[in-house]
Amino acid sequence: MADIHRLLRPLGQITLPCDNEQAFNVGDMLWWDSTNGYLDQLSDYTYSAEETNRRDLKSVFAGVALEARTGKETNDSTMVIATSGVFEMPMTSGTPVIGTLLGFEKASGSNMEDQKLQIVTDMADAIGYCVKRYTAATTTVECALFSAFDPLWRTLSSKFLSFGACNLVAAADIVTNWLFKARVKLLSITSIERTAATANSVITVKNGSNSLDDTHTVTATAVGTFLRTAFADANDYDIFEHDGAMDIACDGTASAGTADLIIEYMELPIL
């Protein structure tokens, strides 16, 4: 018997009010102005500092415009926006790979770009990620984007994996053959010093036999010291298949000391 398709998954779209004096282009990234009750462009958001604006806008990012407005309409209206999906967007020149995080870009003046992204390394700055591997610098990127208004609750978020009181003395594996049992991308490694380290210890994460090119150093500082290293591996070793084994190794430089290690990751694909 042939398969019967009974339910079509709804698109990530919603309809929200817009002011008749607002001009929008197809592809503009829009935010929800709750004070006035309508959509607005990123470039109209009150500017303070790039990182502050990027993170503030993430929480009110409504989606990508699927319609245009001239700003000369006679009446206020509504418009359809995509709250999640795969897009090709302008990007500040870079060489992203699958899973590279992307966030809003600052314009040359004191405002944000309406249709341009940049590579970011912290989930707090990201509204999406690259879905295509590039081998040379590019100024456009194929990416999955997620807004805070998605009706299907498809959101960009990370998970955390913790390993407590890891020995910084032995030159050996701290973790051997960890399986995520899903396709994931590692985002960062964080250390919190539990007992004081006597020397800087280098932590290396491996995908099978392949070492990620971003190593993490636990410094000889005070108990409770918090350090974070973002992963952006040039060879995609930060992406693990369901059966990819993760090892975490220490070079054992310290003669004393332990640290809690926290791996931040996200599952791929989200869409």
| CATH number of the domain that residue 164 is part of | 2.60.120
Do 174 and 235 fall within a single domain? yes
What total of structural domains would you count in the chain?
2
Do 138 and 20 fall within a single domain? yes
Residue type, 129: Y
198-232, pLDDT tens digit by residue?
999 999 999 999 999 999 999 999 999 999 999 98
Note the helical H segments in the chain. 50-58
Do 112 and 170 fall within a single domain? no
**For 40, what's the count of Cα atoms within 13 Å in the CB-facing half-sphere?**
15
Do 244 and 193 fall within a single domain? yes
Task: Write down which residue in 113, 146, 179 finishes a domain.
Answer: 146
| Tally of residues, the chain | 271
Task: Write down which residue in 84, 112, 146 finishes a domain.
Answer: 146
Domain membership flag for residue 4: no
Do 189 and 238 fall within a single domain? yes
Q: Is the pLDDT of residue 8 over 90?
A: no
Do 122 and 176 fall within a single domain? no
Q: What is the pLDDT of residue 154?
A: 76
154-204, pLDDT tens digit by residue?
788 899 999 999 999 999 999 999 999 999 999 999 999 999 999 999 999
Non-local CB neighbours of 46 within 8 Å, separated by 6+ positions = none
What is the pLDDT of the chain when averaged over all its residues? Answer: 92
In this structure, of 33-37, 38-42, 155-159, 170-174, the range with the lowest mean pLDDT score is: 155-159
Do 18 and 142 fall within a single domain? yes
Task: Write down which residue in 86, 121, 146 finishes a domain.
Answer: 146
DSSP output for 49-92: -HHHHHHHHHTTEEEEESS-EES--SS-EEEEEESEEEEEEEEE
Q: What is the pLDDT of residue 199?
A: 95
pLDDT band at 2 (very low <50, low <70, confident <90, very high): low
Domain membership flag for residue 124: yes
Domain membership flag for residue 5: no
Domain membership flag for residue 51: yes
Residue of 184, 59, 180 whose CA lies nearest to 129: 184
Do 140 and 87 fall within a single domain? yes
Do 126 and 47 fall within a single domain? yes
Q: Is the pLDDT of residue 90 over 60?
A: yes
Write down the residue that tokens 């929008």 correspond to: 24
Range of the domain at 134: 13-146
In this structure, of 53-57, 96-100, 148-152, the range with the lowest mean pLDDT score is: 148-152
**pTM confidence score:** 0.88
Q: What are phi and psi of 36, to 5 degrees?
A: -100, -15
In this structure, of 4-13, 211-220, 241-250, 259-268, the range with the lowest mean pLDDT score is: 4-13
Q: What is the pLDDT of residue 249?
A: 97
